[in-house]
Structures are given as C-alpha cells and as structure tokens.
Amino acid sequence: MTLEFRTQEVSQDMLARTRKVIAVHINYPSRAAQRGRTPEQPSYFLKPSSSLALGSADVPGTVERPAGCELLGYEGEIALVMGKSARRVGLEDAWSHVQWVTASNDLGVYDLRYADKGSNVRSKGGDGFTPVGPALIPADAVDPAGLRIRAWHNGDLVQDDTTEDLLFPFAQLVADLSQLLTLEEGDIILTGTPAGASVAKPGDVVEIEVTGGDFSSGRLATKVTEGTTPFADFGAQPKTDDTQREEAYGSREAAGLAPAGSASVLTPELKAKLESVATATLSSQLRKRGLNNVSIDGLQATRPDRKVVGLARTLRYVPNREDLFKSHGGGFNAQKRAIDSVNEGEILVMEARGEKGTGTVGDILALRAQVRGAAAIITDGGVRDYSAVANLEMPTYFANPHPAVLGRRHIPWDTDITIACGGATVQPGDIIVADSDGILVIPPAIAGELVDDCIQQEKEETFIFRMVQEGNSVDGLYPMNKEWQARYQEWSAQQSPEGASGD
C-alpha cells in the first residue's frame, strides 16, 4: 500500500465532528527543564472545538492576535486523532484507539492567562487557536516513540525534538484520560510542546511539521494578523507583566529583559570608568573589601589586547550521560538558547568544570554571539575551530583548543543560574572585567564605589611612578608616608582634569 494512499488530508468535515480537544501541560524533558518543573503525572486542559482551524500545505492559514494583546504564544505539538472510542482502556491497548497523527499549533495569548487561571479558557480557546494538519499520518504505521516534531518561526528552526524520551508516552495519555472520561471518535489530544516555543507577532509565519519513518504531516503554516476589535469593557482586559513575558518567550533574555536582579546597573558612565582602570587595581580594591575569590583563573584569550566590561550571562554544562544527552543535547538546547539570547554588551560565561577534553563552543556559535553583540565568551573548557574563533573580533577566553564536539564530555543543562567558572562563582548580572592581567567578577552592588576608589588609587600610583622616574627612593614613597602624602596633595591640586586621570 503506497504512502500516498494511506496519508489523508485534514478536512473541514473531520474538524466539524471533533467534540473535544484535550491538551497536555508539560510532556517533553526539554520543556520541563526550561520551565524549571517536572510533573510526576500528566495534567490537562480543554480547548473548545471552535478553536480548531484547517491547516494548509500551500497557503498559510491565519490567526488573529486579539486587539490590545502583546503575547501570542505558539507551541508546536503532535496531535493524536482518536479513531474509536476509549473508556477505561489499558496501556497495552491504548494506542490502537488512535487513528491519525498530525501537526498542531497550540496557540494562546499570555495576556489573558490571569483571567481563567488553570483552565486557559480565554487564553487558549480563541477562534483559530488550534490549527491542525495539513496531512494525517496513519497511527498504525508509525512508532509513537519514534516521531519528530519541528517548528519554524519566519523560516528559522526554533523547535526540534523527538518522542523517544517523553515524560508521558502517548499510550499513557490515552489510557489515563480514558479512566474518567470517554474519548470519542474524532477527539484530538495535543501531546505537549518541546523547548523553543515563543511569541509570534503580526506578520510572522509559524510552521509545524511532524514526521515518522517515511511519513510527514507536511508543514502546517499559520500567519499572524493584528486584531482590530477591542475587548468589551464588561469582561477581562488584556494585561501582562515581565513574568508573563518571560513565560511566553521562554526566558527573560529572549523577551528582551535584563537578567533577574541585574536591572541596569552597568550604566554607560560606570562602564567607562571600569574600562579606564586596570584589573590589577580592581583586584587590589576587591581584596581591601575582603573579596579574594573573584578571579576566573587559568584561561587564555583570543584577543589579549582587548579590555572587556559587561554583564554576565551564564550557561552550565554537566558531565555527559548518554540517556540525558538524548533529551537535553539535541535541538534548541541550553547552549544554543544561551548563545541565541545573549544581548548587546553581555558576556556569556560557561561552566565546563575545567574539563579540557572537548570543545564547549565553536566557530558558528561564537559568530552568532558576536552578531548578537556579545562582548565576550568565557569558558573554563575547550574551544573548537580555534583559528576561526580567534579571528573573530569578539574575544573568547578559554582553557585550551580541542577538536572534539560537545557531546564527548558535556550536556548543556541550564542557563542564567549561579555557576562556577575558573574557580570563581558567577551569577547572572555580575559585572565581568577582563584585560591582559586576568578576569574579575564584581558584585554589582559595590561596583560604583569600587571603581571610584580604583581611579583614586591609580591617580596616586601615577604620582608615585613619576617620583620614581625623577630618581626618588621607594622608601616612604610606596606606600606614601605623611610627607609624601602632603606632596601628593599639592601635586594633585595642580593637575588639569586631563592630567589628573594619569598616563
């Protein structure tokens, strides 16, 4: 039997017969890691059948972002279409009740999540918020643990995962739901989304495809349009905040928000001051404040002549374990998410446990960080494609070159958390200062007073240097005794603003 004969197109008649759409909250390990929570059992919500929309392989369908809303989230999902009713079925029999598999986009507006907390009635139930199709894959011809789901946003691949390591396999979802309610012919189960779901704006096109063996659902394309009819004043109004933006985009950084707690501490004025002083001076002033463990040690630089100042973003690798690499190492993993969300002037700091036996970043991802405006990459692990990375304008600090790929020793695990790099603890939003003398981690709360004291110290050292040039002994001069302090004050008062800054 040919694939063409066994594959059918989703029809409007089929959607009209669908009585209920049931969606799973979290089912992919990558999504659980992104959300920071892993459920012990599946949980569900209902979407009205009126939210269904017919998918097209040729011309994108449309979905309206309601007027006044900001956050229309998309989620690529595998949809199961029931072929016969199921009531209290067992795990071994559950999959036989599924007739078709296809692609779906579980759309929703985060602006209305507050209105029906937990039920998602308004946030997920809008007309057209569940496009499905375009083609139906026969369920009995594919392995439910061997399917692949991919999503593209304006042509860029943003979601890519498989059903091999689902938290709750598809048969379990069918059997679990059937314990309490009857799944009827035509009912649709949306089986969860992997990491990488984000926000689409008017004019954007989102495409979803499910594949299994030689079968494909085709690309389910949906174009976002802008709604023009405002909400009536007798119901819930759209509203959002940074928490919802973070949830919708997947991270604070993807939403264009500063890392939690960092605010905008690194003002242009503070950055300029930090760039004007040496790390040796900063280290001295940090020690005076009791901070002795704030240097990232043992690394070399591709651009040792550069002075780098920026806010830290963090990425943590854990030791490779093959089963976990399958769920966390592929697709839009933590490494790629960190690189693809680093912002202008930020420094991506990687915890690689000092492991030198593989690369932690290569030329393509380093280039992507540079294109996004990153000030630097710092890793206490290896670098692949060293020559290409070294030729980039953006500095990279690293332990050693190494040709091996990431998966030999590491799993990219988490982003924007407290990490250890080169013997120093680094938190998102810490200020990183690096030059040819080394790399320092500066707590943002003390940066202002610290750099002012550094400027004063370097001014004093300029005076001492000149006095030594003139033939004076360092005895009593370095450090300065009262006599030299008095002479310094006299010298300082005579300096112009330009001269006062030192050589």
CA–CA distance, 218 with 221 (Å, rounded to integer)? 9
Lowest mean pLDDT, pick from 14-18, 49-53, 307-311: 14-18
Question: How much of the chain exceeds pLDDT 70, in percent?
Answer: 95
Note the pLDDT tens digit of each residue in 401-425. 999 998 889 999 988 889 999 999 9
Distance CA 150, CA 156 (A): 11
Q: Establish whether 365 is an annotated binding residue.
A: yes
Residue 261 assigned as binding residue: no
Q: What is the pTM of this model?
A: 0.56
Q: Kindly state the average pLDDT of the residues 463-471.
A: 92
CA 362, 365, 369, 371 dihedral sign is positive
DSSP 278: -
CA distance 428 to 239: 28
Length in residues, the chain: 503
384 is an annotated ligand-binding site residue: yes
In the predicted model, what is the mean pLDDT of residues 460-474? 91
> Would you call 171 exposed, middle or buried from its count of C-beta atoms within 10 A (0-12, 13-18, 19+)?
buried
State yes or no: 71 annotated in a binding site.
no
pLDDT at 272: 94
Question: For 341-363, what is the mean pLDDT?
Answer: 93
pLDDT tens, position by position, 354-404: 999 999 999 999 999 999 999 999 999 999 999 999 999 999 999 999 999
Q: Which of 118-122, 385-389, 477-481 has the highest mean pLDDT?
A: 385-389
Query: pLDDT-derived band of residue 490, with 50, 70 and 90 as boundaries?
Result: confident
pLDDT digits (tens, 9 = 90+) for 245-287: 888 998 877 887 666 555 467 889 999 999 999 999 999 999 9
- What CA–CA distance (Å, rounded) separates 165 from 147? 11
Tokens of 327: 């769920």
Q: Domains in the chain and their CATH numbers?
A: 8-255 (3.90.850.10), 294-442 (3.50.30.40), 449-494 (no CATH)
Q: What is the mean pLDDT of the chain?
A: 90
